[in-house]
Amino acid sequence: MSRKPSVLITGASGEIGHALIARLAAGDPDRPIVTLDLNPLPPESAKLVRQAVHGSILDTALLDGIHAQYEVDRVYHLAALLSTRSEFSPALAHKVNVEGTLNLLEFAQKAGESHGRPVAFFYPSSIAAFGLPSLEVKTKAGKVKEDDYNVPTTMYGANKLYCEHLGRYYSRHYKQLAAETQSGKVDFRCIRFPGLISAETVPSGGTSDYAPEMIHAAASGEPYACFVRPDARIPFMAMPDAVDAIFRLMDAPRAKLSRTVYNIGAFAPSAAEIEAVVHAAFPKVAMSTQVDEKRQAIVDSWPADVDDSAARRDWGHAPAFGFASAFGEYLIPSIEKRYAAE
């Protein structure tokens, strides 16, 4: 039981959660962290949290139990089925990605009404919320703004786009016809992430995974057949910059925020450019291309890059890693060390 202001992280054992827990625990050691995930936390994360609850975001009784034990005023809702996995199980993706998110918004609303303070709610959306109709339009569009081409072609992208609107509803219009509105208890803040590349975790179920998969395969000496064309291009970001952006957005004064959903970018290499850097670091590893036309079509519907001027203006988004430094100074050295130690 903790009545201290606490943090709830769902999907904490995933790519973003691993880096987020370390930063949260270091930044505010007196603020209890409770996590909710179907998978166990890695030991290095488990020792940093007050409680690691094992269960589903669809289990409302479990969420009620967390509400009874903790005074949560900050939620990082990371649990999701990513784009490729969601295409194989679209109905399950809807349940997890949409109904699960609704459960967490209701949790946050209830917590805010209970302790009287707004609950800051971080929601990771994705470039999958975009849908460019053709390669020609994609090339011409260049850096895409948040409100353009919001016509996703995947269940995951549709889920993310709808949950962006759900979050804005809870934040600004919740029960707007009630005699006494309880709106404003959820302070919903959202980043549309590009493809994220982590040195610590290998992704699973994403369509942008060709980039991290390539590095992790090469560093472990495994041949890799890239499933997209060499010219395929989408925005990417190194995980430390993604976590930094979450902190900058969540720490920004609410009055500074002109929107609830923000694009952020860092670098937008082609698959061929990624392969060239990885091959230079691991020349002995066999790298090839074996296009999966269906996954390629998803990548072709995502923007070549994003306009993140609103994030830079409103809350100081400033990625530390460009393409060369992300691979040369962070990803390749860290991943090499990881596999050398194994």
Give residues in contact with ligand AKB (CB under 6 A). Answer: 82-83, 126-128, 156, 193, 195, 206-209
156, 170, 210, 224: the active-site residue: 156
Q: Which of 272, 306, 304 minimizes the C-alpha distance to 289?
A: 272
Of 41, 274, 294, 239, the residue nearest 124 (C-alpha):
239
For residue 93, the minimal CB distance to ligand AKB (Å) is 11
Q: Which residue type is seen at 243? A: V
Minimum distance of ligand AKB from residue 129's CB (angstroms): 9
> Is 156 a known active-site residue?
yes
Closer residue to ligand AKB in complex, CB, 126/301: 126
Cβ-based nearer residue to ligand AKB, 14 or 118: 14
Residue nearest to ligand AKB (CB): 206
Q: State in angstroms the smallest separation of the CB of 177 from ligand AKB.
A: 35
To the nearest whole angstrom, how small is the minimum distance from the Cβ of residue 127 to ligand AKB? 5
If the CB atoms of residues 13 and 208 are measured against ligand AKB, the closer one turns out to be 208
**C-beta closer to ligand AKB: residue 207 or 260:** 207
Would you say 14 or 32 has its CB closer to ligand AKB?
14
Give CA torsion, residues 88, 90, 96, 100, to 10 deg. Answer: 170
To ligand AKB, the closest distance from the beta carbon of 339 in angstroms equals: 22
User: Measured from the CB atom, is 32 or 206 closer to ligand AKB?
Assistant: 206
Q: Nearest distance from residue 180's CB to ligand AKB, in Å?
A: 38
Catalytic residues: 156
